[in-house]
Amino acid sequence: MVASNNVSNRVKKHQVALRAAGLRPIQIWVPDTRQPGFAEEARRQCAVVAAADAGDQDIHNFMDAALLDLDDEREACDVATW
């Protein structure tokens, strides 16, 4: 019981320090990837999105432009570090 109490005290102390640093706790719920059927459903949803994107030239143009923009930023950073 003493070890459990020690851990609880350390956790509380850590939480107090985080709050003092201006942070607050939040709770996030995420899909349980261990559930039966999760992988199949993920594949199904990916296929639906891929099929929708395949025929959408605007999304391809947008993504290409975004990648070029990232390349431009990377080149600017590389030059600045020389």
Taking only the tens place, the pLDDT of each residue in 17-34 is 999 999 999 999 999 999
Beta strands in the chain (DSSP E): none
Q: What is the pLDDT of residue 72?
A: 75
Share of the chain above pLDDT 70, in %: 87
Tens-digit pLDDT profile for residues 42-52: 999 999 999 98
pLDDT of residue 62: 92
Q: What is the model's pTM?
A: 0.46
The structural domain count of the chain equals 1
With a pLDDT cut of 90, the percent of the chain lying above it is: 65
Triad 38, 29, 6: Cα angle to 5°: 120
Per the structure, the complete domain to which residue 7 belongs is given by 2-80
